[in-house]
């Protein structure tokens, strides 16, 4: 039969902990990530994202060495993100919302071109559509958008003056607070 979510997480965390201290091969933790079905619990996918995120980090700034790990991580996480989509749904659990935000940040950080292209499209659409960006107060979503749109090495300096003006206007706009 199928293990309960709590037991799936327990096995994954135990294997990761044993791997971290050298009592079990790291490959065992990675092998477990290959067994997680697309429709697994968001809690389980958070754990998979954490495990896979650590693999690419091992290579530091060596992009050539990290490339296979990044490709593999994108291949495992991208289908989950496609299933979740960009927008929160009314019946999404807080864990699903957190997973969505994490996947956007992680996939963009890994260079997933589809995620980066959509992030840029949404950002550029914000000039005429205020709903293209996360609402004020959605700090996690806003930070994830910033990271995926303006990742290091890909700045668009010519757009900063307009963005600065947008930020100033947003800060000066009344927010409906009483003084």
The pLDDT of residue 149 is 56
Q: What's the pLDDT score for residue 18?
A: 92
Phi and psi (nearest 5°) for 44? -65, -40
Q: Report the pLDDT value the prediction gives residue 120, as an integer from 0 to 100.
A: 81
Give the number of other CB atoms < 10 A from CB of residue 122. Answer: 18
Along the chain (179 residues), what's the average pLDDT of each consecutive run of 10 residues? Answer: 87 90 89 92 94 83 89 95 91 92 89 87 79 64 59 56 66 56
Spatial separation of the C-alpha atoms in residues 135 and 170, rounded to whole Å: 11
Contact 142, 170 (CB under 8 A): no
Phi, psi of 154 (to 5 degrees): -130, 40
pLDDT in the model for residue 3 = 87
* Model pLDDT, residue 177: 46
Residue 30's contacts (CB-CB under 8 Å, 6 or more residues apart) are 51, 52, 55
Handedness of CA 31, 40, 21, 65 (dihedral sign): positive
Res 80: pLDDT: 97
- Predicted pLDDT of residue 143: 59
Give the per-residue pLDDT at 179: 43
By C-alpha distance, which of 162, 142, 144, 146 is closest to 154? 146
For 26, 105, 121, 124, the CA distances from 145, given in Å and listed in that order, are 32, 8, 11, 12
Residue 78 is predicted with a pLDDT of 96
Q: Which two tokens stand for residue 103?
A: 């996947």
Rounded to an integer, what distance in angstroms lies between the CA atom of residue 158 and that of residue 138?
Answer: 26
């Amino acid at each position: 039969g199928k293990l309960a979510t709590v037991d799936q997480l327990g096995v994954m965390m135990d294997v990761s902990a044993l791997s971290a201290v050298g009592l079990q091969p790291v490959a065992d933790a990675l092998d477990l990530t290959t067994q997680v079905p697309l429709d697994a619990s968001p809690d389980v996918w958070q754990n998979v994202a954490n495990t896979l995120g650590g693999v690419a980090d091992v290579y530091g700034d060596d992009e050539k060495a990290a490339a296979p790990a990044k490709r593999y991580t994108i291949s495992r996480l991208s289908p989950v993100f496609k299933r979740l989509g960009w927008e929160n749904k009314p019946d999404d659990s807080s864990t699903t919302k957190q997973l969505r935000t994490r996947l956007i940040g992680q996939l963009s950080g890994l260079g997933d071109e589809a995620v980066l292209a959509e992030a840029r499209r949404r950002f550029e659409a914000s000039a005429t559509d205020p709903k293209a960006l996360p609402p004020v107060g959605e700090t996690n979503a806003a930070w994830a958008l910033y990271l995926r749109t303006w990742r290091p090495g890909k700045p668009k300096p010519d757009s900063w003056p307009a963005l600065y003006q947008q930020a100033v206007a947003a800060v000066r706009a009344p927010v409906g607070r009483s003084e």
